Structures are given as C-alpha cells and as structure tokens.
Amino acid sequence: MKVEDTLQEQNEDIGDDHMSSSQETPLREDAFDLSDEEKIERIKTNVRDIMLTLGLDLDDDSLQGTPNRVAKMYVKEIFGGLHPDRKPTSSTFDNKYKYGEMLVEKNITLYSTCEHHLLPIVGKAHIAYISNGTVVGLSKMNRIVDYYAKRPQVQERLNIQIVKELQRVLKTQDVACVIDAKHLCVNSRGIRDIDSSTVTAEYGGKFKEEAIRREFLDYINLETEF
C-alpha cells in the first residue's frame, strides 16, 4: 500500500479527509498503533533519558515524578489533539431563527505548541461564519480551536485546519478565522523579541469579499467590556 493511501485512510479516520495533504498534520503510518498507556511509558523513558543526559539527579524528590508528568501531559493534554477520539463532535442545528448576518466568536483562548521547538504558542483566535441554513453551538468553535491547537503546530496550518473543519461541519465555505499569537520560540529564546506576535488569517467564500472581511475585522476590534 502506498504511503499516500495510508495517510489518506488515517485522515479519513481522524475526519481530516477534507484537507489536502499539505494542510494535514504529518503523521507516521503507525501513528495509532500504540495505546495511550504504551505511548506514556515510552515517552517517560525518553524524558528520563534527556534529564539524565542533562546531568539531573532523578532521585531528587522534586524531579522524580517529572518523566511521568511530562509523558502524561504530552499524550493526554498538549498533544491530545493528535488522537481522533478527542475530536469534538459538533452538534449542528437548523437556522430556524433565519439569522442572516455573520456570527463572530472572538477572543477564543488558544494554547498550542510550536512544532519546530516544542515551545508554547499562546494567543487568541477569532472565528466568523455566515449560516447557509445550519448553525453550530457556540462552544463547538472554541472546542475545534482547542482540538487542532493540541498538536505540534505551525500557526498557518492550525489556522487552515480550524477553517476547513468548520466549513465541513457548517456545510458552507463562508467561514473565516484570524489568529494572533505569541510564539515563545521567538519571545523567550533565539531572537528573544518579547513584544512581537504573529497574525494569520484564512478567509473562505464570502469572506474573500472586501466589505465582508472588513465587517469581521471591525467586530474583532470592538472593545467589549463586561
């Protein structure tokens, strides 16, 4: 079987078959062969090895539990979105209110991990869609952001994955997402520019039109105080 076929099958398994290969998270053929528990055991050994190599004393009370903590955190939390079982099911409803304007879910908190350095990406995602007869529960947008963020990521791909998934769920191209995020690999090491952040955007369907896009961006800039 060709690697592309296997990847295609995997992406169908994780419901990512609506993305082109360059938009999918690069996964190995055997990505789902090990159980979570087996992955935790293996990562634990590897983290232990890194710590020992750094010269740390793993008998120290404070360090003893670190390999296990890191392994659990990788598999169940910060990289949990690699597992299709954690993909949120997005309940949709008919747009019975006949709401015809765009809906914007803004300031969605985003925690991800840069795939180049495995350092945190922290930011906000802003999503908009125009219903084509289907609406989605508001929280599902936050959940979709969280699911794709919980993978080793580059911000451009994360942005596209969020939009593609919402387009699939909402059965419309009219979806947009803007992400503004700080990459600790830029802020805390390397060039150490603590002030810079990265803005990416993906505009589908009607959001490619200047006026619609402007309306979305104006909503994002609204100062909402509660």
Ligand X SMILES: Nc1nc2c(ncn2[C@@H]2O[C@H](COP(=O)(O)OP(=O)(O)OP(=O)(O)O)[C@@H](O)[C@H]2O)c(=O)[nH]1
Cite the active site residues.
Answer: 114-117, 155, 183, 185
Tell me which of ligand X, Zn ion, none is bound by residue 155, counting a contact when its beta carbon lies within the kind-specific cut-off of 5 to 8 angstroms: ligand X
Indicate which single residue of 18, 72, 76, 117 sits in contact with Zn ion (rule: CB under 5 A).
117
CB atoms within 10 A of CB 210: 8
Choice from 114, 125, 144, 176 touching Zn ion (CB under 5 A): 114
- The token pair at 171 is 């059965």
Q: Does residue number 185 form part of the binding site for Zn ion (CB under 5 A)?
A: yes
Is residue 92 within 8 Å of 169, Cβ to Cβ? yes
Is 117 known to sit in a ligand binding site? yes
Tokens 């670190």 correspond to: 66
Q: Which two tokens stand for residue 144?
A: 């979709």
Distances (CA, A) of 214 to 49, 76, 80: 51, 39, 35
Could you say which of 31, 47, 122, 154 contacts ligand X (CB under 6 A)?
154
> Rule CB under 6 A: is residue 137 a binding residue for ligand X?
no
Tokens of 38: 């087996």
187 binds ligand X (CB under 6 A): no
177 assigned binding-site residue: no
Binding segment (CB under 5 A) for Zn ion, from list 13-21, 46-54, 132-140, 181-189: 181-189
In the complex, what is the shortest distance from the CB of residue 110 to ligand X, in angstroms, rounded to a whole number?
12
190 binds ligand X, rule: CB under 6 A: yes
What's phi and psi for 53, nearest 5 deg?
A: -60, -35
- 185 scored as a contact of ligand X (CB under 6 A): yes
| DSSP codes of every residue in 69-137 | HHHHIIIIIITGGGSGGGSPP--EEE-TT---SEEEEEEEEEEEEETTT--EEEEEEEEEEE-SSEEE-
- The DSSP output letter for 143 is H
Closer residue to ligand X in complex, CB, 103/122: 122
Pairing of strands 134-136, 92-94: antiparallel
**DSSP-based three-state secondary structure for 37:** helix
Segment contacting ligand X by CB under 6 A, of 11-19, 124-132, 153-161, 201-209:
153-161
Binds 31: which of ligand X, Zn ion, none (CB < 5-8 Å by kind): none
Structure tokens at 170: 């909402």
Residues that bind ligand X (CB under 6 A): 114, 116, 154-156, 183, 185-186, 190-191
Q: List, as residue ranges, the binding site for Zn(2+).
A: 114, 117, 185
Binding site for Zn ion (CB under 5 A): 114, 116-117, 185
